[in-house]
């Protein structure tokens, strides 16, 4: 199995330390804060471990404090309700005795019903786009030496942008839309719940970028303080996270130091399998004053 995706699957394989309490770890190379997608995926794993014969259909989460990658995260699951059709769980993630994250998850028994969906955008297939590894290697020369190693590391989720910019440090301004293809970089075991957890992990990638596109601000500029504030997902149909999915994203609004973003995830055949919404902090720092 591809090493980067194996590391993600290992992160999602939480340790059960008591009834309804699980422990997760972070990658050793995280030096600043825990990746939000990791906490989303691990919390969904914790909730799913307390449910049988039902599949998650929605989650709503808040990021409360930055996660510390140096210490484990405890996930405590509250079994809020077990109904005839729906099951509800609440998960609290704790570090240093404080909540860093909480999430509500709803599960449902399999059921038939009315169906409709929006159409998938018409975009080139992923095979016609530059691979993420090739792009990162090509663009890494623009970055300071200390950032190149991180930028060119193999990724557990491969992302191929439909329209990409060659200027990493000073990107041009664009309308608040972007389309990317993404998939796990290696095969994942077949359980749908695991594919949902991997997609939850991946859904926090690129989404916050969307609200920056109209402003032409680079993550590498040093001007930006950013973080995910909340995150919601709805799962509509079964899918595989190790097959290409189109992540169609838009940002309807940014205001008050926050950017609001939405995403729709489609299979190659055009089936809408999941929807995402997120608000993130996009606060501009004052430029450093010269002596």
pLDDT tens by residue, 38-96: 999 999 999 999 999 999 999 999 999 999 999 999 999 999 999 999 999 999 999 99
Give 30 or 273, the one with higher predicted confidence: 273
Of the chain, the percentage scoring pLDDT greater than 90 comes to 76
Q: 155 and 183 in contact (C-beta within 8 Å)?
A: no
Q: Which residues of 246-263 are buried (b: 16+ CB within 10 A; e: fewer)?
A: bbbbbbeebeeeebbbbb
Instruction: Determine the pLDDT at residue 2.
Output: 66
CATH homologous superfamily of 3-110+130-284 equals Acyl-CoA thioesterase, double hotdog domain (2.40.160.210)
- Does residue 286 have a pLDDT over 90? no
Q: How far apart are CA 214 and CA 6, in angstroms?
A: 36
Instruction: Determine the pLDDT at residue 291.
Output: 42
- Residues taking part in catalysis: 204, 228, 278
Tokens representing 247?
């992540």
Winning range, highest mean pLDDT, from 50-54, 133-137, 172-176: 50-54
Instruction: Determine the pLDDT at residue 136.
Output: 75
Q: Given CA atoms 203, 205, 210, 211 in this order, what sign does their dihedral have?
A: positive
**Residue 135 gets which letter from DSSP?**
H
Instruction: Indicate the pLDDT class of residue 11, thresholds 50, 70 and 90.
Output: very high
- In the chain, where are the structural domains located? 3-110+130-284
Q: What is the pTM of this model?
A: 0.92
Instruction: Indicate the pLDDT class of residue 188, thresholds 50, 70 and 90.
Output: very high
- Does residue 196 have a pLDDT over 60? yes
Instruction: Determine the pLDDT at residue 290.
Output: 45
Instruction: Determine the pLDDT at residue 150.
Output: 66
């Amino acid at each position: 199995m591809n090493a980067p995706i194996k590391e993600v699957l290992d992160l999602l394989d939480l340790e059960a330390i008591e009834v309804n309490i699980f422990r997760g770890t972070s990658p050793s190379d995280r030096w600043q804060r825990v990746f939000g997608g990791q906490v989303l995926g691990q919390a969904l794993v914790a909730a799913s471990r307390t449910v049988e014969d039902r599949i998650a259909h929605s989650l709503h989460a808040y990021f409360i404090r930055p996660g510390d990658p140096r210490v484990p995260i405890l996930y405590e699951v509250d079994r809020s309700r077990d109904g005839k059709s729906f099951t509800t769980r609440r998960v609290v993630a704790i570090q240093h005795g404080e909540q860093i994250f909480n999430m509500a998850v709803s599960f449902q028994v399999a059921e038939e019903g009315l169906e409709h969906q929006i159409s998938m955008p018409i975009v080139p297939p992923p095979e016609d786009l530059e691979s993420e590894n090739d792009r990162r290697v090509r663009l890494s020369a623009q970055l300071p030496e200390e950032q190149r190693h991180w930028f060119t590391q193999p990724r557990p989720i491969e992302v191929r942008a439909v329209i990409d910019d060659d200027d990493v440090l000073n990107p041009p301004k664009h309308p608040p839309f972007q389309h990317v293809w993404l998939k796990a970089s290696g095969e994942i075991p077949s359980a749908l719940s695991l594919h949902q957890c991997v997609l939850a992990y991946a859904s926090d990638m690129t989404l916050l970028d969307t609200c920056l596109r109209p402003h032409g601000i680079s993550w590498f500029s040093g001007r930006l303080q950013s973080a995910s504030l909340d995150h919601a997902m709805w799962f509509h149909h079964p899918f595989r996270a190790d097959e290409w999915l189109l992540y169609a994203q838009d940002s309807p609004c940014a205001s008050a130091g926050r950017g609001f973003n939405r995403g729709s995830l489609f299979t190659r055949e055009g089936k809408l399998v999941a929807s995402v919404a997120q608000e993130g902090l996009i606060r501009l720092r004052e430029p450093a004053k010269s002596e």
